[in-house]
Amino acid sequence: MNTLRTGILMALMTGIFMAVGVLIGGAQGMVIAFLFAAGTNLFAYWNSDKMLLSMYGARQVDANSAPEYYRLVERLAQQAKLPMPKVYIMENPQPNAFATGRDPEHAAVCATTGLLERVSKEELAGVMAHELGHVKNRDTLTMTITAVMAGAISMLANFAFFMGGDRRNNALGMAGIVVITLLAPLAAVLVQAAISRSREFEADRFGAEVTGRPMWLASALSQIERAAKGIPNHAADANPATAHMFIINPLHGGLSGLFASHPATEERIARLRAMAGAPAAPRGPWG
């Protein structure tokens, strides 16, 4: 159901993009908008992981430089039947983590130093299993594409607003152009947030199944949520479009509800508690 919902939402995002293209230049504008979207998404497909990791100053580690962390990810990847991802650490006091990469064969997972210092080994296993869930479900690519499209919609809407759009072939007139160019970026943000929220639930479920201990992730989410509210993540604040990539919203302030890029942590924990209490709760080789 979540996969179908994501497909519908991405189709809606594409429709918004094309509608703004029509405002700019009618049918020809729609074609230009489509080509622009294809170009930016192609660039994001090949380079999004490098850009994100570089943006956050993440450093790659291995079994020698971070043995406990690396071998934990290695064991989780084997349990999840995934290729071993590249493993990174980001120097940041806020406990958090994210995954990136265009597919499981070109994936990377990254934890902050704050996460490695604050959580137990079991809680870290829950978090990294969650991130591998994003890799398994190819959410890293989906969320990158939606972020790129949301940014492109905002840019095109601004262009249409200042250029006046195609008033000759636009039945809505200038007033319609103003309304649509204001609403299109808002709609794109809403769709992006809805996609991100649905993917977080799926990754939570996958992570809980991989470890066989849903409460490990539940405990980690509770700790990260509390700490993230009081510890700033300046790199994320400077790049808010990437906030949805983290396991917990790294930003301070901002809008909630429909605009939230993450589901309510309380609801995520409640679902994990339900999994832990289910008679057929899965059990992995983690003790």
Structure confidence at residue 203 as a pLDDT band (50, 70, 90):
very high
The predicted-structure confidence for 241-262, as pLDDT tens digits, reads as follows 788 889 999 987 554 444 467 8
pLDDT score, position 6 = 59
More confident residue, 152 or 55: 55
Percent of the chain with pLDDT over 70: 68
Tokens of 129: 């299993």
Q: What is the average pLDDT across 223-240?
A: 90
131 is catalytic: yes
Distance of alpha carbon 138 from alpha carbon 141, whole angstroms = 6
Using DSSP, state whether 262 is helix, strand or coil.
coil
- Catalytic residue (one of 74, 105, 123, 131): 131
If one counts every other C-beta atom within 10 angstroms of the C-beta of residue 1, the result is: 7
CA distances in angstroms from 135 to 31, 82, 207, listed in the order given: 32, 9, 11
168-177, 209-218, 259-268 — which is least confidently predicted? Answer: 168-177
Structure confidence at residue 275 as a pLDDT band (50, 70, 90):
very high
182 pLDDT above the threshold of 90: no
Distance of alpha carbon 90 from alpha carbon 233, whole angstroms = 11
pLDDT score, position 181 = 62
pLDDT score, position 114 = 97
The predicted-structure confidence for 45-100, as pLDDT tens digits, reads as follows 787 788 889 999 999 999 999 999 999 999 999 999 999 999 999 999 999 999 99
Tokens of 255: 């809008």
Nearest Cα to Cα of residue 203 among 144, 130, 263, 143: 130
Q: Which residues contact 282 (CB under 8 A, 6 or more apart)?
A: 208, 209, 212
120 pLDDT above the threshold of 90: yes
pTM: 0.79
Helix (H) or strand (E) holding 268: helix 265-277
Nearest Cα to Cα of residue 124 among 85, 82, 70: 70
pLDDT score, position 141 = 78
187 pLDDT above the threshold of 50: yes
Distance of alpha carbon 110 from alpha carbon 140, whole angstroms = 13
Using DSSP, state whether 264 is helix, strand or coil.
coil
Helix (H) or strand (E) holding 233: none
9-18, 61-70, 127-136, 201-210 — which is least confidently predicted? Answer: 9-18
171 pLDDT above the threshold of 50: no
Using DSSP, state whether 246 is helix, strand or coil.
strand
